[in-house]
Amino acid sequence: MNAIAPQVSSVSALPSAEELARALRDASPAEVIAAALETVGREKLALVSSFGTESATLLKVMADVDPAIPVIFLDTGWLFEETLAYRDTLIETLGLKDVRSIKPAEEALSRDDPDRDLWFSDPDACCRIRKVEPLARALKPFDAWLNGRKRFQGNARADIPVVEDDGVRLKFNPFANVSREELEAIFVRAKLPRHPLAASGFLSVGCMPCTSRTAEGEDARAGRWRGRAKTECGIHTMKIS
């Protein structure tokens, strides 16, 4: 693949998201990650992972490109113990060298969620203090980030480009074009461990209070915020400054 841009330290000197999206429109996930790495350099690139049911695939591809790329994991305080264990399993299995577990600010929790019931009364506010604000803090040193969204997940994700501008930095979506069958092929080919809850019907795993099993025939994300209009936590729909 042709070089996209030399490594630079100033975000203003980076190629535009539109230029990168055109250049990488038909690129493989590994090529997208390599291009992101070449564009901003390892010190300015992060991968954000939930260590959920599909996360092993993107982490595997990233590890094959460079296992030292920083990985940001949002430990919200409401995660399943199985997710925390899966994080540790994947770190060891894939040889990930820089996984950063980021927690919400204690001040925000004490002020806005002292009784730990904000997930019920105002789930958007709960996501803001437990995910959006911690991610904004964690991403401050970086000029670009990688995430695992796919178009086949539907809703707000149906038309995502391979590269976009999140309002502050470049946002690479290496799996935008990947199908569910291709994801499964990565799992099988690499013999990746599955999330411990996947066999119990949890096809998409987030925080405990807002995650339920998915019934046969339902969309994979149907178990997230079930019964509410909410479909996203906010890290992909709000400006991460």
DSSP assignment of 69-82, as one string?
S-EEEE--S-B-HH
pLDDT given for residue 21 in this prediction: 94
Token pair of 231 as six digits: 């479909």
56 domain residue, yes or no = yes
Active site residue 233: yes
> What average pLDDT score do residues 151-166 get?
77
- What is the torsional sign of CA 124, 130, 133, 139? negative
pLDDT digits (tens, 9 = 90+) for 202-232: 988 999 999 988 888 777 777 787 778 777 7
pLDDT at 228: 85
The pTM of the full predicted model, rounded to 2 decimals, is 0.87
Place of tokens 């600010």: 105
CA distances from 156 to 38, 136, 176, 235 (A): 28, 20, 12, 12
Structure tokens of 52? Answer: 């959920």
33 is a domain residue: yes
The reply to whether 3 falls in a domain is: no
3-state secondary structure of 50: coil
CB 98 within 8 A of CB 70: yes
In a domain, residue 226? The reply is no
- Residue 224, domain member (yes or no): no
Whether pLDDT at 105 is above 50: yes
pLDDT at 6: 39
Give the model's pLDDT for residue 7: 43
Question: What's the CATH number where 88 sits?
Answer: 3.40.50.620
241 within a domain of the structure (yes/no): no
Q: Does 189 fall in a domain?
A: yes
Tens of pLDDT, residues 13-47: 789 999 999 999 999 999 999 999 999 999 999 99
Q: Is the pLDDT reported for residue 66 higher than 80?
A: yes
In this structure, is residue 82 part of a structural domain? yes
Q: Does residue 11 surpass a pLDDT of 90? A: no
pLDDT recorded at residue 8 = 42
Structure tokens belonging to residue 71:
């990985």
The whole domain housing 189 covers 11-210
- The string of pLDDT tens digits covering residues 51-63 is 999 999 999 999 9
In this prediction, residues 139-143 reach a mean pLDDT of 96
Given 126, 127, 207, 233, the catalytic residue: 233
Does residue 157 have a pLDDT over 70?
Answer: no
Domain count, the chain: 1
